[in-house]
Chain A
């Protein structure tokens, strides 16, 4: 434990608490009190593992999300383990899978926020809304050539942001 841990906690909280809170709300299916415990436990682990906080902000956030996700799985496993009558309830078989999917999707969403507004816009049009280059160009009021080059650079920027978060395609 470093003496600066209070200061470290303040910085972590300022930079990541809201994002982590939203992720934990999703993880706990909007159980606000469990989500709060999860954020708290995750932050406490972070200040005990300063070495995990040495990467860029993206890597730190990925680490926090991963810890929160693992805590959820641990909690799920111990609940399952302590269930007195295993047949009384159908276990949530998909829990680790579900949280894994959720973790990846949030890391991708977080990586997207690192892209410029222009890059985010072309990806939103061409991917989320399924628009063609011509439609996206009309929608955004830019030439088709610009849409093509922006998707080229946007995908590269996304790839780098994902790498920083430990997500590989």
Chain B
């Protein structure tokens, strides 16, 4: 009898079978429990509109270009959040960071006793002509960050004001901006920055523009 519970709950049994099943339920705790488990389903099924159930609405597809739009928005917001988080991050002693830039400096960085963990190119977003490499060096107080930027000589876009860039690190405590700088009329620029976060904890290195849009990044 137990296989009748579904048809019973759906009201699909003939009246003779229904009476018989109800008499059985009175003496069978297992079947009575089974019916109780399914009892609410009929009410839930009743909520489904016929056109949805029939799948006649299935031809509606998400408009073209939606993924690109969402991805774009994701990056913009990511950037904005980082920029907005800077003031707060700078106020934290442990999360705070100091940065110093040396434009086109030929000076070698002072020797450190730490070990260099990475010196890798950042991947440009499409349409971005700037290139950069980053070297992260573990030191006693945290991580030394050295960024080398290469600007495109052939880039004929004229800027009234030079674009401003931000160097942002993704850390376990959230994004941390460790440097900002202006583009200069030099093909190559080097800057160094520092953070108290250990190199192993830096999961992503990013360069964003002033609006927060992601330009270059490196997943680690």
Inter-chain CA distance A136–B10, complex, in Å, is: 12
Chain B interface bracket (under 10, 10 to 19, 20 to 34, 35 or more): 35 or more
Distance of B168 from chain A, by nearest CB (Å): 10
Q: Identify which of B7, B39, B47, B175 contacts A152 (C-beta below 8 A).
A: B7
Q: Which residues of A lie under 8 Å from residue B75 when comparing CB positions?
A: 6
Q: Which residues of A lie under 8 Å from residue B41 when comparing CB positions?
A: 155, 158-159, 162, 169
Q: Is the interface of A mostly helix, strand, loop or mixed?
A: helix
**Binary per-residue interface labels of chain A (1-38) against chain B in the complex, 1 for a CB within 8 Å, 0 otherwise:** 11111100110010001101110010000001000100
* Chain B, range 152-168, C-beta contacts under 8 Å to A: none
Minimal Cβ-Cβ distance residue in B for A14? B67
Q: Identify which of B11, B53, B170 contacts A124 (C-beta below 8 A).
A: B53
**Binary per-residue interface labels of chain B (37-63) against chain A in the complex, 1 for a CB within 8 Å, 0 otherwise:** 111111111111110110001101111
* Chain B, range 1-53, C-beta contacts under 8 Å to A: 2-7, 9-14, 17, 37-50, 52-53
Inter-chain CA distance A128–B175, complex, in Å, is: 52
Q: Cβ of A3 and Cβ of B6 under 8 Å apart?
A: no
Is A64 close to B, CB under 8 A? no
Q: Cβ of B53 and Cβ of A44 under 8 Å apart?
A: no
Distance of B210 from chain A, by nearest CB (Å): 19
Inter-chain CA distance A168–B40, complex, in Å, is: 8
Distance of A131 from chain B, by nearest CB (Å): 7
Q: Which residues of B lie under 8 Å from residue A147 when comparing CB positions?
A: 7, 12
Q: Cβ of B67 and Cβ of A169 under 8 Å apart?
A: no
